[in-house]
Amino acid sequence: MAQTETLRRRLADLHAERERTWDPAQLKLNVDQRRILVETADPSLWVKAGDRLAPFALEEVDGESLTLETLTLTGPVVLIFFRFAGCPACNIALPYYEQHLAPGLKALGARLVAVSPQVPERLVDIKRRHDLSFEVATDRNNALGRRFGVLYTADPANQAAARAKGGFIGDTTGTGTWELPQPTVVVIGADGVVGFVDVSPDWLVRTEAEPILEAVRALNLETAR
Give the separation between CA 29 and CA 157, rounded to whole angstroms. Answer: 7
Give the separation between CA 24 and CA 40, rounded to whole angstroms. Answer: 24
Distances (CA, A) of 138 to 30, 83, 126, 200, 204: 25, 11, 12, 20, 21
- For 99-134, how does the pLDDT look when each residue is reduced to its tens digit (9 = 90+)? 999 999 999 999 999 999 999 999 999 999 999 999
**Predicted local distance difference test score (pLDDT) of residue 223:** 82
pTM of the model: 0.96
Which phi-psi region, left, alpha or beta, contains residue 192 (left: φ > 0; alpha: ψ -120 to 50)?
left
pLDDT at 159 over 90: yes
Confidence of residue 54 (pLDDT cuts 50, 70, 90): very high
- Spell out the domains of the chain, with CATH numbers in brackets: 3-224 (3.40.30.10)
Give the separation between CA 59 and CA 44, rounded to whole angstroms. Answer: 28
Give the separation between CA 155 and CA 162, rounded to whole angstroms. Answer: 11
Sheet order of strands, 65-67 included: 65-67, 57-60, 135-138, 111-116, 77-81, 184-188, 194-199
Confidence of residue 5 (pLDDT cuts 50, 70, 90): confident
- For 30-41, how does the pLDDT look when each residue is reduced to its tens digit (9 = 90+)? 999 999 999 999
Of 105-109, 134-138, 206-210, 218-222, which range is least confident? 218-222
Q: What mean pLDDT do residues 4-13 have?
A: 90
Q: What mean pLDDT do residues 46-68 have?
A: 98
The overall average pLDDT reported for the chain is 96
